[in-house]
């Protein structure tokens, strides 16, 4: 079976190609508030900067509880730079790749198998009481 990190990368690229990716803490919070049912998956990236940024930690806590309340799968990655390389083609996105959302595909359209694998991975993790499992993103 393919690693969760590889599935994560595939799901992010697929969502990006289909314009179903939201990058940024504030942008993500806006979508979660405006249309929570559209959100399928949430990726939070933690790094040294995160450890020192109380405001970011508060945002993460709120985003996590929102995901739990709305049955949205959520994972952590520890390499913000790598996440930004995968999702960010614009320089300003690199700074705010701490939160990335994948929204649901259009009604009746093809489901992304990589995303399905990630949902199963998260389900399995929750069964083991790991509510926000950490995934290592593959190198290039």
- What CATH number corresponds to the domain at position 63? 3.30.1330.30
> DSSP assignment of 70-91, as one string?
TT-EEEEES-HHHHHHHH--SH
Kindly indicate the confidence band of residue 91, based on its pLDDT and cuts at 50, 70 and 90: very low
The arithmetic mean of pLDDT across residues 48-71, rounded, is 89
Tell me, yes or no, whether 140 lies in a domain.
no
Tell me, yes or no, whether 139 lies in a domain.
no
Tell me, yes or no, whether 138 lies in a domain.
no
- Per the structure, the count of domains in the chain is 1
Supply the range of the domain harboring residue 61.
4-132
Mean pLDDT (the chain) is 88
Tell me, yes or no, whether 137 lies in a domain.
no
pTM, full prediction: 0.90
């Amino acid at each position: 079976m393919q690693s969760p990190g590889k599935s994560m990368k595939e799901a992010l690229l697929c969502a990006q190609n289909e314009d179903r990716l939201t990058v940024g803490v504030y942008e993500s919070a806006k979508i979660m508030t405006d249309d929570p049912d559209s959100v399928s998956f949430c990726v939070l990236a933690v790094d040294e900067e995160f450890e020192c940024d109380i405001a970011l930690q508060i945002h993460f806590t709120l985003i996590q509880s929102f995901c739990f309340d709305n049955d949205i799968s959520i994972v952590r990655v520890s390499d913000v730079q790598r996440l930004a390389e995968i999702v960010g083609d614009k320089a300003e996105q690199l700074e705010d790749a701490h939160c990335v959302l994948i929204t649901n595909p259009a009604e009746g359209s093809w489901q992304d198998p990589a995303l399905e694998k990630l949902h199963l991975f998260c389900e399995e993790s929750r069964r083991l009481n790991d509510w926000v499992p950490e995934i290592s993103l593959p190198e290039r």
